[in-house]
């Protein structure tokens, strides 16, 4: 029984059940590989769902700070709404990158590169390492 039925916990429970119940009953090697891939996907989705809204809002604030934009008050924590705000901030970031390179603004280019590096680090942290199940 799940005492915390959050999305991340549900995904982990499914992955654990697949490994504990389904995998031992499977003899087909292709099916075992597929189950390994499903396990990885479920665990990655679990990590992402546990932190997705927080990292998007943190990055929106970081983008706004670097670009000198006013922070917007978060009015909704619905994933679709936060994702829309994240998309808008990412668009502004893209525009700022174009403008900084067009103006040859080395200071802004450095800030933007740092921001992109932090984005990549966060994505790698959330997604984790991809193991090539059945490919080795």
pLDDT of residue 125: 80
| Domains identified in the chain, total number | 1
Question: Picking from 58-62, 116-120, 121-125, which range would have the lowest pLDDT averaged per residue?
Answer: 121-125
**pLDDT tens figures, 62-112:** 999 999 999 878 789 999 999 999 999 999 999 999 999 999 999 999 999
8 A C-beta contact, residue 89 and residue 60: yes
Q: What is the pTM of this model?
A: 0.79
Q: Is residue 71 part of a domain?
A: yes
Residue-number span of the structural domain to which 65 is assigned: 7-127
Q: Is residue 81 part of a domain?
A: yes
Q: Is residue 132 part of a domain?
A: no
By CB atoms closer than 10 A (0-12, 13-18, 19+), residue 60 is buried
Q: Is residue 76 part of a domain?
A: yes
DSSP 8-state symbol, 72: P
DSSP 8-state symbol, 76: -
Q: Is residue 94 part of a domain?
A: yes
Does residue 26 or residue 3 have the better pLDDT? 26
């Amino acid at each position: 029984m799940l005492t915390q039925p959050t999305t991340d916990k549900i995904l982990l429970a499914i992955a654990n059940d697949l490994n504990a119940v389904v995998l031992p009953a499977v003899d087909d090697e292709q099916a075992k590989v597929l189950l390994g891939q499903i396990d990885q996907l479920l665990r990655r989705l679990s990590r992402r769902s546990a932190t997705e809204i927080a990292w998007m809002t943190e990055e929106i604030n970081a983008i706004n700070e670097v670009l000198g934009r006013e922070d917007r008050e978060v009015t909704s924590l619905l994933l679709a709404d936060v994702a829309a705000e994240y998309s808008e901030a990412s668009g502004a970031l893209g525009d700022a990158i174009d403008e900084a390179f067009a103006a040859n603004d080395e200071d802004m280019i450095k800030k933007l590169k740092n921001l992109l590096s932090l984005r990549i680090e966060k994505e790698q942290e959330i997604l984790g390492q991809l193991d090539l199940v059945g490919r080795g």
